Chain A
Amino acid sequence: MDILYKIFIEPFVFMGEAPDLLIQTLWEGLVSGVLYALIALGFVLIFKASGVFNFAQGIMVVFAALTLVGLYEAGVPAFLALILAVLIMLVLAVVVERVVLRPLVNQPDIILFMATFGLTYFLIGFGELIFGGNPKEMITSELYLPRGTTEVEMLGGFVRFQHLDIAATVIASIMIGLLAVFFSKTRIGRALRAVADSHKAALSVGISLNQIWVIVWFAAGIVALVAGIMWGARAGVSFSLQIIALKALPVLILGGFTSIPGAIIGGLIIGVGEKLGEFYWGPLVGGGIETWLAYVIALLFLLYRPQGLFGEKIIERI
């Protein structure tokens, strides 16, 4: 009975007793969730355009952030470094399309997936060669990102809002909104959806597959840069950031691999869910449940919606 009380009653009693901590946990979950959504969006863009799960998205986050900081450390002014980092992500997109994707057109998806594994290890090695393995500090103040904390008294306690977290949430939300509009309302966006439906049909109506791939890899590169800046500002820029990117996996399972709204909603559910789980139920098993809880949440959703919350229901004739 005691264990049932600890699982089903005590956490909710504690939520009622310390509502400020509940708000704080929800806020932390929301911030993480938006950042997970941003990373997941990079995966979704490429998957929609090519049906490829881009395993390299995580290292792209690190590579983009390191490029920005590396250029700044080499004496390039912060905003020029930002522009150059964007251009380098464009160059990366072109190179990936020419060297990795184009030669593998019409190959099974698993081949393309394996190619992104290769790309991951290439970018790790190349990044370490150019920038070294030492962690670096994100150029937060040079990019005029706010620092500091606002402490708001509420519900008999206080909630701390980091200005950087607020900025990250706003910037990530704007970014997600712009990408959603771009890919749903513009000509390129419609072309992308056509490519996602059928490569052959898209080619037959004159859509350039190569061009679309460059565009989506570039878009995914920009998303990676923004995610790298935000995560880097929170926790420093190092190669271990690529592991955080794997947090996008349960987000994708939950939201569906092809849905931009799915990435957003999935990110928020996973972000908030894992923080609530770790904070209120984690102590029952000694803590540290956050790592796998995200997958449990995603799998629970899959029991009811195997295609994910917003994924396309695929019916195949056998």
Chain B
Amino acid sequence: MSFRKIGLGLVAATLFAGTALPAFAQDSVYVPLFTYRTGPFAGSGIPIADGMHDYLQMLNERDGGIGGVKLVLEECETGYDTKKGVECYESVKGKNPVIVNPWSTGITLPLIPRASVDKIPILSMAYGLSASARGDIFPWVFNPPATYWDGMSMIIKYIGEKEGGLEKLKGKKIGFLHLDAAFGKEPIPLLQELAKQYGFEVALYPVAAQDMQNQSSQWLSVRRDRPDYMVMWGWGAMNGAAVKEAVRSGYPMDKFYSVWWPGEDDARAGGAGAKGFKMLNWHAVGTDYPALKDIQKHVVDKGLSKSPKDKVGELLYNRGIYNSLLIAEGIAQAQKLTGKKVVTGEDVRRGMENIKLDPARLKELGLEGFTDPMTLTCTDHNSHSAAFMQEWDGSKWVKISEPIKPMTEQVRAQLDAAAKDYADKNPGWPKRSERCDNQS
């Protein structure tokens, strides 16, 4: 083959690609899903990835997408590695994604400054930078339905109520077992502030990623310090190993609390001794909802899901569904606001600020009672919703509390200070100039 033919072939291919791309863009919306099905954190990453994918796939199969526009779903494997996550972002940003879900606090942090430049909204659902809840300072970042600081304040509030009032925490010791990474350290400033305010002591137990499955030192220290309560901020293999070690070391499980990330497999790892282990949650477990039945019918039964059938409806699978529910609502609201079918990242940012998941809307979506109502606005990108406490009964999670509202007064002051501090420390941080459709 001559160079001339090769050259002509390349030109033809380029022309073909150039004409094919707009055709693809005209009738679909591109939604990349950052996932991790491999590596040390896959235990948490797989069910979440399955839930995220299956809900959006169900919309494609059942409704032909959203507003008559198909969703183009593409997974990018990050391995929960910040470097790979940023590579994923760089590889998808040229394909006009309408939203990005980093699924890692470590990945979220470097993407925050890029979002406003690339006009791609970031959804860090209940993780990431707590201060990014301030929509007036972070117009491109959304972290509903609660920040890590909200979560920590809910756990402290619940423990305080158990003791007979927050003032009864004075003189108590609360241990904080956390992944020694951006995610695990995120709630420490608030925990220390609350300790100062209510007079309890904090003992920190960092777990390095390489020692996630080798926690005997941390639990020896727990035995030495005898904390009255333990609070965990763990991820991946760390959660199951911590539950096991807590049981091994004889720590009273009814005093062991976690933020919302352990799944059923993590609790099962502790065997019968794990009974009493508690964690926060804000949505239902199980498949007793029309939307989940549709996922089973249109996706799982047709072999379009990667999830084993018996894992559909488990806690982290449903967490993935909640994440995709927010994506879908953001797109639907964007279509409503702009009148366009094929929306852009800028449109979806506006759409996210108009999400209103009230009981009527949840019923319409086939998720009545799945989660509490939630509203986002231009200034509030989080909603600071309540969560409830659930307990492991040896085989399943059981809801044991009414919704616990975050300690807004304390959290708000810290959050405002942190948001201002972030903007001050990043010279040239832009003042919000983005359009607002929902001020209230």
A134–B43 contact, CB under 8 A? yes
A238-275 interface bits toward B, Cβ cutoff 8 Å, 1 = contact, 0 = none = 11110110110000000000000000000000000011
Q: Which residues of B contact A287 (CB under 8 A)?
A: 204-206, 218, 221
- In the complex, what distance in Å separates the CA atom of A274 from the CA atom of B41? 25
Q: Is B387 an interface residue (CB 8 A)?
A: no
Q: Which residues of A contact B64 (CB under 8 A)?
A: none
B206-244 interface bits toward A, Cβ cutoff 8 Å, 1 = contact, 0 = none = 111111111111101101100000000000110011001
B42–A134 contact, CB under 8 A? yes
Do A135 and B43 contact each other (CB < 8 Å), given the known contacts A279-B224, A286-B204, A288-B206?
Answer: yes
- A49-57, A185-193, A194-202, A229-237: which lies at the interface: A229-237
Q: Which residues of A contact B212 (CB under 8 A)?
A: 240, 243
Do A275 and B216 contact each other (CB < 8 Å), given the known contacts A235-B241, A243-B210, A288-B206?
Answer: yes
Closest to A129 in B: B38
B221–A243 contact, CB under 8 A? no
Chain A: minimal CB distance from B402 (Å): 33
Chain B: minimal CB distance from A196 (Å): 30
Chain B: minimal CB distance from A205 (Å): 44
B213–A236 contact, CB under 8 A? yes
B213–A160 contact, CB under 8 A? no
Contact of A21 among B205, B224, B236, B237 (CB under 8 A): B224
- In the complex, what distance in Å separates the CA atom of A287 from the CA atom of B224? 13
B217–A275 contact, CB under 8 A? yes
Q: Which residues of B contact A243 (CB under 8 A)?
A: 40, 209-210, 212
A278–B217 contact, CB under 8 A? yes
A24-38 interface bits toward B, Cβ cutoff 8 Å, 1 = contact, 0 = none = 110010011000000
Interface size range on B against A: 35 or more
Chain A: minimal CB distance from B241 (Å): 5
Q: Is A137 an interface residue (CB 8 A)?
A: yes
Q: Is A16 an interface residue (CB 8 A)?
A: no
B216–A32 contact, CB under 8 A? yes
Chain B: minimal CB distance from A153 (Å): 14
Q: Which residues of A contact B40 (CB under 8 A)?
A: 238-240, 243
Chain A: minimal CB distance from B126 (Å): 22
B217–A28 contact, CB under 8 A? yes
Contact of A286 among B41, B206, B250 (CB under 8 A): B206
B241–A236 contact, CB under 8 A? yes
Contact of B217 among A21, A234, A279 (CB under 8 A): A279
A133–B39 contact, CB under 8 A? yes
Q: Is B45 an interface residue (CB 8 A)?
A: yes
B254-290 interface bits toward A, Cβ cutoff 8 Å, 1 = contact, 0 = none = 0000000000010011000000000000000000000
Do A133 and B38 contact each other (CB < 8 Å), given the known contacts A246-B210, A283-B221, A291-B208?
Answer: yes
B213–A21 contact, CB under 8 A? no
Closest to B269 in A: A236
Q: Which residues of A contact B268 (CB under 8 A)?
A: 137
- In the complex, what distance in Å separates the CA atom of A10 from the CA atom of B36? 45
Q: Which residues of B contact A146 (CB under 8 A)?
A: none
Q: Is B249 an interface residue (CB 8 A)?
A: yes
A3-26 interface bits toward B, Cβ cutoff 8 Å, 1 = contact, 0 = none = 000000000000000100100110
Closest to B43 in A: A135
Interface residues of A in 278-314 (CB under 8 A from B): 278-279, 282-283, 286-288, 290-291
Do A134 and B46 contact each other (CB < 8 Å), given the known contacts A239-B40, A240-B40?
Answer: yes
Contact of B46 among A132, A160, A235, A247 (CB under 8 A): A132
A279–B269 contact, CB under 8 A? no
A279–B220 contact, CB under 8 A? yes
- In the complex, what distance in Å separates the CA atom of A96 from the CA atom of B205? 41
Q: Which residues of B contact A132 (CB under 8 A)?
A: 46
Q: Which residues of A contact B42 (CB under 8 A)?
A: 128, 133-135, 238-239
- In the complex, what distance in Å separates the CA atom of A279 from the CA atom of B205? 11
- In the complex, what distance in Å separates the CA atom of A283 from the CA atom of B203? 9
A241–B216 contact, CB under 8 A? no
Do A236 and B206 contact each other (CB < 8 Å), given the known contacts A135-B43, A244-B214?
Answer: no
Q: Which residues of A contact B217 (CB under 8 A)?
A: 28, 274-275, 278-279, 282, 290
- In the complex, what distance in Å separates the CA atom of A119 from the CA atom of B212? 24
B210–A133 contact, CB under 8 A? no
Q: Which residues of B contact A288 (CB under 8 A)?
A: 180, 206-208
- In the complex, what distance in Å separates the CA atom of A282 from the CA atom of B217? 10
- In the complex, what distance in Å separates the CA atom of A244 from the CA atom of B237? 12
Closest to A140 in B: B271
Chain A: minimal CB distance from B419 (Å): 26
Q: Is B248 an interface residue (CB 8 A)?
A: yes
Do A128 and B236 contact each other (CB < 8 Å), given the known contacts A235-B241, A236-B213, A275-B216?
Answer: no
A24–B204 contact, CB under 8 A? no
Q: Is B134 an interface residue (CB 8 A)?
A: no
Q: Is A162 an interface residue (CB 8 A)?
A: yes
Q: Is B381 an interface residue (CB 8 A)?
A: no
Q: Is A150 an interface residue (CB 8 A)?
A: no
Contact of A291 among B210, B213, B216 (CB under 8 A): B210
Q: Which residues of B contact A137 (CB under 8 A)?
A: 268-269
Chain B: minimal CB distance from A191 (Å): 36
Contact of A235 among B204, B214, B220 (CB under 8 A): B214
Q: Is B384 an interface residue (CB 8 A)?
A: no
Do A278 and B208 contact each other (CB < 8 Å), given the known contacts A149-B248, A288-B180?
Answer: no
A278–B46 contact, CB under 8 A? no
Chain A: minimal CB distance from B189 (Å): 14
- In the complex, what distance in Å separates the CA atom of A247 from the CA atom of B223? 24
Q: Which B residues are closer than 8 A to A by beta carbons? A: 36-43, 45-46, 180, 204-218, 220-221, 223-224, 236-237, 240-241, 244-245, 248-250, 265, 268-269
- 11 additional A-B residue pairs with CB within 8 Å, beyond A149-B250, A287-B205, A288-B208: A133-B38, A134-B43, A234-B244, A235-B213, A235-B237, A236-B269, A238-B40, A238-B236, A240-B237, A244-B214, A282-B221
> Nearest 5 CB-CB pairs, A to B?
A133-B42, A240-B40, A235-B213, A288-B206, A278-B217
25 A/B residue pairs, CB under 8 Å, sorted by A = A25-B220, A32-B216, A124-B38, A133-B42, A133-B43, A134-B43, A134-B265, A135-B42, A135-B269, A160-B249, A235-B215, A235-B241, A236-B213, A236-B240, A238-B42, A239-B38, A243-B209, A246-B210, A247-B214, A274-B217, A278-B221, A287-B205, A287-B221, A288-B180, A290-B208
Q: Which A residues are closer than 8 A to B by beta carbons? A: 18, 21, 24-25, 28, 31-32, 124, 128, 132-135, 137, 149, 160, 162, 231, 234-236, 238-241, 243-244, 246-247, 274-275, 278-279, 282-283, 286-288, 290-291
